[in-house]
Structure 1
Amino acid sequence: MNLFPPLGRDVNARGQYCGHSPADTPDTDCKNPAAWHIMWTTDADTGLACNQHLAQARRFVFLDSHPIGPDCVMPGTHWDFDAKRCVVPDGPAVETAVVELPTTA
């Protein structure tokens, strides 16, 4: 018996929406699909942005960003800074997939 579920094809995470909300209320939430995953801080605070709002986000300091991928919304995902993507660790490969967060000065 296989203990792992059949994962099937890679599913795009476009069902997630941009996190931009000028007044921080549901009425002002951006309704565009997220296109980018952003790592804001060394505390692993992350967010999602559409193409338009990523351009605005680039006015601020953040650690990294990459296009939304299927692993961005998976539980237990790790940010791979070298590969510019999220990865789900799988057994022994976890040591090579996880990159430590940069230390603050």
Structure 2
Amino acid sequence: MNIAHAPGPAVAPCRRDLPDLSNSAVLTGGPVVGDGTWLSIGEVIAQLRAAGFSESESTIRRMIDEGALESYRTERGGHRRIKAESVSALISRRNSGY
């Protein structure tokens, strides 16, 4: 018995002449992420752990809410982006004992 199968969905070829907007301010609602200026919460946690501190995601969120880390929220999705300079300053303060 032969069963006829419906054809799969058609996939359009990828256009190479279009700009890559996957990381642009238009999509994120803020400065371009990925250039090292703005970090995701996961990247902040990784930097803090590399410096010898163990912080949870909820602790980072609380620090943002309290103003200890400079950040903004993306328009699309409301993801938090933290300024890398404020993370570096936090690590420096902790290493110096303040």
Same fold, TM exceeding 0.5? Answer: no
TM-score (norm 1): 0.23
Answer 1 or 2: which has greater helix percent.
Answer: 2
- Larger strand fraction of residues: 1
Per the normalisation by structure 2, the TM-score is 0.24
